[in-house]
Amino acid sequence: MVVLNKIYTKTGDRGNTALGTGERVVKHHTRISAYGTVDETNATIGVARQSMAAGELSKLDEMLARVQNDLFDLGADLCTPDKGQKFEWEPLRISAAQVDRLESEIDDLNAELEPLRSFVLPGGHGAAAALHVCRTVSRRAERLMVELAGEEDEPVSEAALQYINRLSDFFFVASRWVNARFGGDVLWVPGANR
What is the value of pTM for the model shown? 0.93
> What are the pLDDT digits (tens) for 144-185?
999 999 999 999 999 999 999 999 999 999 999 999 999 999
The predicted structure's pLDDT at residue 86:
87
Q: What is each CA distance from 88 to 20, 29, 38, 70, in whole angstroms? A: 12, 26, 26, 23
CATH number for 50: 1.20.1200.10
| Cα–Cα distance, 171 to 187 (Å, whole number) | 17
Q: Does residue 75 fall inside a structural domain? A: yes
Q: Does residue 148 fall inside a structural domain? A: yes
Q: Does residue 6 fall inside a structural domain? A: no
Q: Does residue 37 fall inside a structural domain? A: yes
> What are the pLDDT digits (tens) for 105-135?
999 999 999 999 999 999 999 999 999 999 9
Average pLDDT over residues 85-94: 89
Backbone angles phi, psi at 24, to 5 degrees: -100, 135
Q: Does residue 141 fall inside a structural domain? A: yes
Which domain does 58 fall in, by range?
25-80+94-111+120-181
Q: How many domains does the chain have?
A: 1
Backbone angles phi, psi at 13, to 5 degrees: -65, -20
Q: Does residue 55 fall inside a structural domain? A: yes
Q: Does residue 17 fall inside a structural domain? A: no
The DSSP H or E segment spanning 175 is: helix 158-181
Q: Does residue 18 fall inside a structural domain? A: no
